[in-house]
Amino acid sequence: MKSRAIVAIDGPAGAGKSTVARMLAKRLGYLYIDTGAMYRALTLKALERKIDLEDEGAVTGLAEETEILLVPQDGTEIRVYCDGRDVTSAIREPEVSRQVSRVAKVPGVRARMVELQRRMAERGGIVMDGRDIGSYVLPGADYKFFLTASLEERTRRRWQELRDRGIHTDFEQLKKEMAARDAMDSRRPVAPLIKAPGALEIDTSNLEPEEVVEIILKHMEEGR
Ligand SMILES: Nc1ncnc2c1ncn2[C@@H]1O[C@H](COP(=O)(O)OP(=O)(O)O)[C@@H](O)[C@H]1O
Ligand SMILES: Nc1ccn([C@@H]2O[C@H](COP(=O)(O)OP(=O)(O)O)[C@@H](O)[C@H]2O)c(=O)n1
């Protein structure tokens, strides 16, 4: 296995990217970078400022004046700061999930985020997860994975996750929202959600997170 490698993990919402990426980073002693958290932080700020999300100029301007920091904690937890404020929990609110793809499709926003993400990856030894990491942000990544799962299973996971945080949502409504977000992420003109050439696709529907990590590590050890 290459040392201080760059590992890219992409896939739709709820496929298990962050869970697996975090566990993998821990096993490898790498840094975990959650790029979705960056788009979420900017979306939260835009919503709080009541910025018209269809106004691409305004949203781009906001991206350019916003400082987003991902700060690793003990283990592989990261805390997300937006202009110095800890927004780790707030960015997971359903309203942010509902609106984030509108912000993420703005080319000026992506340009800014991608620049930051590439800088964070410069020294290697990272696991980065998102939608366009293997295809666009880090096309030269050493290892690329594309996680999937059925929409039903991905909704079930997100529904449970929200419930564990005391947020009760309607399952069918959540399913619709997740499908709408996937569609928007897949259809946007700039760096859409796609499986990068050469990425190993893993359907996690019937796997435990630990099993997915083992598949990934085995693939990396075999140097494929
Ligand atoms: N392979 C898996 N099997 C079962 N549950 C999983 C699996 N991967 C992740 N989960 C659970 O599903 C939820 C959503 O996963 P997450 O990692 O946030 O997905 P993503 O980052 O792709 O949106 C988490 O609560 C996690 O514990
Ligand atoms: N590399 C990335 C990561 C996220 N995103 C956007 O950010 C949103 C939230 O990403 P996330 O990874 O936090 O979403 P979940 O899969 O955790 O629900 C996605 O739906 C995309 O719209 C993106 O455009 N590019």
Residue 70 CB contacts under 8 Å (≥ 6 apart), including other chains: 33, 34, 37, 38, 78, 79, 80, 81, 120
What values do phi and psi take at 148, rounded to 5?
A: -135, 170
What values do phi and psi take at 171, rounded to 5?
A: -55, -50
Residue 12 CB contacts under 8 Å (≥ 6 apart), including other chains: 148, 154, 178, 182, 185, 193
- Band of the pLDDT at 199, cuts 50, 70, 90? very high
For ligand 1, say whether the CB of 157 is within 6 Å of any of its atoms: yes
- Band of the pLDDT at 224, cuts 50, 70, 90? low
Burial of 122 (0-12, 13-18, 19+ CB in 10 A): exposed
Query: Going by CA atoms, what residue is nearest to atom 16 of ligand 2?
Result: 13
Residue 200 has pLDDT above 70, yes or no: yes
Nearest-angstrom CA–CA distance, 216 and 132: 19
Where are the chain's structural domains? 6-213
For ligand 1, say whether the CB of 162 is within 6 Å of any of its atoms: no
For ligand 1, say whether the CB of 205 is within 6 Å of any of its atoms: no
Given this model, what pLDDT does residue 73 score? 86
Q: In a mutational test of the pocket of ligand 1, which residue from 22, 38, 77, 157 has the highest number of ligand atoms less than 8 Å from its CB?
A: 157
Q: How far is CA 104 from CA 56, 111, 202, 218, in A?
A: 11, 10, 25, 33
Given this model, what pLDDT does residue 88 score? 96
pLDDT, tens only, 124-176: 999 999 999 999 999 999 999 999 999 999 999 999 999 999 999 999 999 99
Residue 2 has pLDDT above 90, yes or no: no
Query: Going by CA atoms, what residue is nearest to atom 13 of ligand 1?
Result: 157
What is the DSSP secondary structure assignment for residue 134, as one 8-state letter? I
For ligand 2, say whether the CB of 36 is within 6 Å of any of its atoms: yes
- Band of the pLDDT at 191, cuts 50, 70, 90? very high
Binding residue ranges for ATP: 11-19
Look up the CATH number of domain 6-213: 3.40.50.300
For ligand 1, say whether the CB of 13 is within 6 Å of any of its atoms: yes
**Helices and strands, counts by H and E, the chain:** 8, 8
pLDDT, tens only, 107-122: 999 999 999 999 999 9
For ligand 1, say whether the CB of 178 is within 6 Å of any of its atoms: no
* Residue 184 one-letter amino acid: M
- Of all atoms in ligand 1, which is nearest to the CA of residue 212? 1
pLDDT, tens only, 35-93: 999 999 999 999 999 999 999 999 999 999 999 999 988 767 899 999 999 999 999 99
For ligand 1, say whether the CB of 12 is within 6 Å of any of its atoms: no
- Band of the pLDDT at 223, cuts 50, 70, 90? confident
Given this model, what pLDDT does residue 163 score? 96
Task: State the ipTM, two decimals.
Answer: 0.96
Query: Going by CA atoms, what residue is nearest to atom 27 of ligand 1?
Result: 19
Residue with tokens 């793809």: 101
Ligand minimally distant from the alpha carbon of residue 133: 2
